[in-house]
Structure 1
Amino acid sequence: MAQIITESLVESLARERAFQLLDKGSAYEILGPLDGIESPHLVAQNIVPQFDDGMIIVKGTLNGQQTVIISIEGNFQGGGIGEVSGAKLAGTLEKLIKECEKGNKIHPVIIYDTGGVRLQEANYGLLSIAEISAAIVALREYVPVIGIIPGKVGSFGGMSLTAGLCSALIMTREGRLGMNGPEVIEQEAGIRELDSRNKQLIWKMIGGAIRHESALADVIVEDDIPNYKEAIKNIWSGEIRLQHRTKQIQNYLSLFKTLDIEKKIMPEQAKEYLNSKTVNMDIELPTPMGDVKSTGSRWFDLLANGQHSISEVPSVLVADTIISGVNARLIAVVPNPDSKYYRARNGEVGLLEGWTIAKYVRQAIEEDKDLTEKRLIIPIVDVPSQAFGYHEELFGIYLSCSAAVDAYATARLAGHPVVATLVGNAISGAFLSHGMQANRLIALNDDGVNVHVMSKKSAAIITQRTIEELDEAAKEVPSMAYDIQSFEKLGALFKLLDGVNAKEPNPEDRDILESAVIEAYNDIKSDSARDLSSRLKSDIARSSGRKASIQVREMIDLQWR
């Protein structure tokens, strides 16, 4: 009996995966190992770098169509995204946008094998994932952006948000897709919330089969190269219809408003809910009984100038106001101690919050679509993290956050100036969802304003270090630090404001912040770019903060043919 030979993506390394998918003889690598572009931030932490930084870019043809495969190496730092690897992925997608604008249609395929941000580079990864997300949203208007999650690591952390933004997702049963890894959920929420050792339950929650059966992945394939190629061809031809999940806001929002999680919902039941997405337009969530004022809610009240929130969800405040003669929409995520989603009671971005942000940003886009002057959108950022919970992962919190990212990026591309104001914590996927897609970032110079990808306790466990060792490493690598002064050294801030009381703001503090917002608004209006490229153009970015990010993009341009 003849032996059946299969070509596996799951068992292959990232470089092999890219060349396996492309037509034989058509492929060449851009920024390969011989170019020697490695992370400049690892040696200082006694970590051996890699000359391709775990990100493989291969250009060629697939089924005769011009294609670029971007493949993440899960065996290097868990496929984590740092400055160089992130710039390779974002820079390639940005290059494809320029090619498509010139009429040269090139198809992108991203092979995911990543745990998200590389914690040893922390905020560099956060900035990179925001830029990757922005590029995916822009590129989708020209060609489908296809993601493949074959297995081994899967797609987690901030990179799960980019997977949620893809036009279509191909998975195997071995693949996993979720925002928060099981070990992190157990660390943050306790073993009663999720036992990370219960592998059978975890596969039923976030594995490829359940994601496909729950209509969260478009195709599930057996792990053989011809199967992936056939799936890609069917997506390109339209045989597999694109779902645009991040735009199905009312369906998902209605589901999560009506969902009863008092009793633990099992994966099979969750699958039925996600497939039905029953719409109940009349449901209203109760107003919180307690009056919990966070830093973000205080700033919302000051900036709203007497305007009440129009949001249907108590944990997301939305109001239209006028700032120095400019029409503006304010959006803030705030605590709701009475939320039925108990893992999202302290201002976290959860299932309800991500979809609600998306609703009110897209509402502004629709209402202003025929106006020459689009509304200024101001995310007020005070978010401790995304929600770490069993039900959140089961029902796809990554997609909720992707929907918010998509909405903000779409607003920016549609001509809405978006100015994020960092008045409190700006942590992890919550910041990616709410603030990171802004044209300009303004922060208060205050000890209570922090930017990072994870709590120190969890970061120490994931990187197998003590908190003291993390603090020591941050002295050499500012991107690992939490304080806003270190974040400023990366060059992404438009302005860092001194002399403002972040926690107990008064009208004088409001006036200072409003003045900075209008300055940022005018800067946006004078700039023809609607992408996030301004973060690479500041003096700090060019001189030190993002030198590697800029160099990578320049080398992609040089090697493109």
Structure 2
Amino acid sequence: MLHFKESLVELSARERIRALMDKGSFRELLGPFDGVESPHLAKQGIVPQSDDGVVVGKGAIDGTPSVVIAMEGDFQGGGIGEVAGSKIASALELALNDNKSGEPTKAVIVFDTGGVRLQEANYGLLTIAEIHAAIVALREYSPVIGVIPGKIGAFGGMAISAGLCSALVMTKEGRLCLNGPEVIEQEAGIREFDSKDRTLVWRTMGGRQRVSTGYADIETEDDTWTIRNHISELFAKEHHPRSANIDEFHSIIRAIDTSSEVAPEDFRDIAEKKENKLSNHKKKPELENSRGKIWFEALTGQTAEDNRDAASVLCAEGKINNETASFLAVVPNKQARFPRARNGEVGLEEGWMLAEHVRKIMEEDRNREKRPIVAIVDVPSQAYGYKEELAGIYLSCAAAADAYASARMAGHPVIALIVGQAISGAFLSHGLQANRILALDDENVQVQVMSKQSAARITLRTIAQVEEAAKQVPATAYDVHSFATLGALDELIKNVHPDKPADADVEQVERTLAKTVNDIRERKSGLEHRLQTPAAVEGGRKASIEVRRLMEEQWK
């Protein structure tokens, strides 16, 4: 049948949803006339938008009830703040509830986003973690299809969301990348990545590269009818999500020769052949001290060097409530294969190693009591580098987040214990899928999206202006006390020496862990617990709670 071509890229978010759904079935939830907008932007002199840059449509695809979510790249770069993120998470959660009750509901996410909206910072981290949790849970019932048409693409924490999808459709103009080119240049220098080299950008992270290396499923022409047909085809298939396919994708990472340059075309050959016999694969680890290493050793009774492979991801058993528990930490390793991940960052290897360890724990406990898993968090950031983006660090982070979420859903009590920094995609990968979050009460315990320098560059503000904004919106501050006001932190552990813990300090933390495990098992709650704490209800997540209430009212 002949059809007139219509560009999906050139459509607005609302028009994209209408084009992908069965004709006449589109019904918008929390649309502009509902007036639900970010409460945090006006405080910073930014004009809000009445749909907060995310459109949620309920209707049908091929006659089956469906929800399609689209981000509006023309508003705040498609950035995800509290309201925008809560709309996405809520829509996926409601689709999950429908599937659980026997009403099949499909889900499509159209990405056009730079990731976390930096003007809302930690709100973005929290809501994106909730999106990740919802995707992993919904995939058990129905494929979640991601579409990356173009304009902006999918970056930051939302690139991790794309990595969690069952399948991905991309135009060659689409981009999929954890760290934006400008951020890489800011953090690692122009020699590492020249953000103005647009040809390099697309050869590294564009749709054609992602499909040719197996990181996306279909490269499509920019035509709504064609893309709709691709979505229908993908819904009819069974999928094994890439983020759970550790053997294949970790073997690709192992096949990269980190001592030499790798061109985008070279990586296509590596991804196809996956040869895994490089001389530089194993170097004797040179672990440096960090709070993550200190507390790993204190809580497991093992030295890091005695731990299994003694790589930059440590995993060992300890005791909580006199039962076996597993502790994981990412630590600095001066001999890490990828230089950009030698100071405790979550890089390509680290994300996949975290996933391997957690999946192994799940397999060992498949037919017995599920042991607690404690993520000891001291991660300064994800790794910023050209090779990292070329080889899909977003997928490495997605694999770790997927594993932690899957463990939590399988019944493992998962706890994040923040002892140092908890920054950006590293925290999304290692900590934010936990049932509960604990933190040491210390000025050097920090939670945030990125460095102040990068935040200032991306938002076109000075560092002084970034610091001033934190006084108006606590979610943009770095200190753990500000983070606690958002309601996601269950307990600040006081009067503990974080760098040189005495026996009494360790015992205090162990008591808190024991109490937290008991609470998780008694309440059997996941990430929804973060919206039920006193700090959340009293205002820290007021907008998130209201969005979910209104979405549920309008869903039926």
- Confirm or deny a common fold (TM above 0.5): yes
Maintained 8 Å contact 2:257/2:280: no
Aligned to 1:405: 401
**Could you tell me which residue of structure 1 aligns to residue 317 of structure 2?**
320
Give the Å deviation of 1:545.
0.3
Could you tell which deviates more after superposition, 445-454 or 335-344?
335-344
Match of residue 557 from structure 1:
552
Determine if contact 2:280/2:337 at 8 Å carries over to the other structure.
no
State how far apart, in whole Å, the 2-side matches of 1:281 and 1:106 are: 46
CA distance in 2, matches of 1:313, 1:90: 37
Q: CA deviation at 1:263?
A: 1.5
Pick aligned residue for 1:415 from 401, 411, 414: 411
Residue 560 (structure 1) shift = 1.2
1:364 is aligned, of 361, 365, 368, to 361
> Letter of the aligned partner of 2:187 in structure 1?
E
For 1:447 and 1:205, how far apart are their aligned partners in 2?
38
Q: What is the aligned partner in structure 1 of residue 256 from structure 2?
A: 259
- Distance in structure 2 (CA, Å) of the matches to 1:370 and 1:4: 54
The correspondence of residues 411-490 of structure 1 with structure 2, limited to 5 A, is 411-490=407-486
Q: Return the TM-score normalized by structure 1.
A: 0.96
User: Gaps (5+ residues) in structure 1?
Assistant: none
CA distance in 2, matches of 1:545, 1:330: 30
Q: 162-171 vs 301-310, which deviates more?
A: 301-310
Match of 1:269 in 2: 266
Q: How big is the shift at 1:275?
A: 2.3
Distance 1:230 1:156, change over 3 A: same
Query: What displacement does 1:540 show?
Result: 0.7
Q: CA deviation at 1:437?
A: 0.3
Q: Which secondary structure state, in structure 1, belongs to the residue aligned with residue 119 of structure 2? A: coil
TM superposition shift of 1:281: 12
User: What TM-score, normalized by structure 2, do the two folds share?
Assistant: 0.97
Corresponding residue SS for 1:67: strand
1:315-344 Cα deviation digits (max 9, x unpaired): 001101222312100100000112231100
Deviation at 1:227, TM superposition (A): 0.6
Verify: 1:335 aligned to 2:326, yes or no.
Answer: no
Question: What displacement does 1:314 show?
Answer: 1.0
In the other structure, the counterpart of 1:502 is 498
**Alpha-carbon offset, residue 278 of structure 1:** 3.1
> In structure 1, what is the Cα distance between the partners aligned to 2:151 and 2:418?
37
Q: Give aligned-pair identity as a percent.
A: 52
Q: Among 268, 287, 293, which residue is 2:289 paired with?
A: 293
Tell me whether 1:511 sits opposite 2:507 in the alignment: yes
What one-letter code is carried by the residue in structure 1 that aligns with 2:214? Answer: A
Deviations 1:159-200 (CA, angstroms, capped at 9, x unpaired):
000000000000001100000011110110001101111111
Tell me how far 1:256 sits from its aligned partner.
Answer: 2.4
Q: Would the aligned equivalents of 2:312 and 2:332 in 1 still touch at CA under 8 Å?
A: yes
The equivalent of 1:68 in structure 2 is: 67
* Alignment partners' CA distance in 2, 1:12 and 1:284: 46
1:107-506 pair list within 5 angstroms: 107-238=106-237, 242-279=239-276, 285-289=282-286, 291-306=287-302, 310-312=307-309, 314-371=311-368, 373-506=369-502
Matches within 5 A, 1:9-88: 9-88=8-87
Secondary structure in 1 matching 2:102: coil
Aligned length: 554
| Structure 2: stretches of 5+ with no match in the other structure | none
Deviation at 1:77, TM superposition (A): 0.3
Kindly state the Cα deviation for residue 279 of structure 1 after the two structures are TM-superposed.
4.8
The 5-angstrom pairing of residues 527-546 of structure 1 reads: 527-529=523-525, 531-546=526-541
Post-superposition CA distance 1:197-247 (Å, at most 9, x none): 111111111000010000000111111111111101111122xx5242112
CA RMSD across the alignment: 1.6
Instruction: Please say if residues 62 and 232 of structure 2, whose CA atoms lie closer than 8 Å, have aligned partners that are also in contact.
Output: yes
Structure 1 residue 411: Cα displacement: 0.1
CA contact (8 A) 1:92 1:556 kept: yes
Q: Tell me, yes or no, if the aligned pair for 2:285 and 2:310 is still in contact at 8 Å.
A: no
2:519 equivalent in structure 1? 523
Q: How many Å apart are 1:255 and its aligned residue?
A: 3.3
Q: Name the aligned partner's letter for residue 446 of structure 2.
A: N
Q: Which amino acid aligns with 2:194?
A: D
Alpha carbons 1:117, 1:157 under 8 Å: kept: yes
- Describe the SS at the equivalent of 2:155: coil
Cα distance in structure 1, aligned partners of 2:463 and 2:275 = 45
For the Cα contact (< 8 Å) 1:307–1:320, is it kept in 2?
no
Contact 1:185 1:388 in 2 (8 A): yes
Measured in 2, the distance between the counterparts of 1:12 and 1:340 equals 43
Residues 254, 281 of structure 1: 8 Å contact kept: no
What secondary structure, in the 3-state scheme, does the structure 2 residue paired with 1:230 have?
Answer: helix
Q: Secondary structure at the match of 1:526?
A: helix
Q: How far has the Cα of 1:508 moved from its partner? A: 1.4
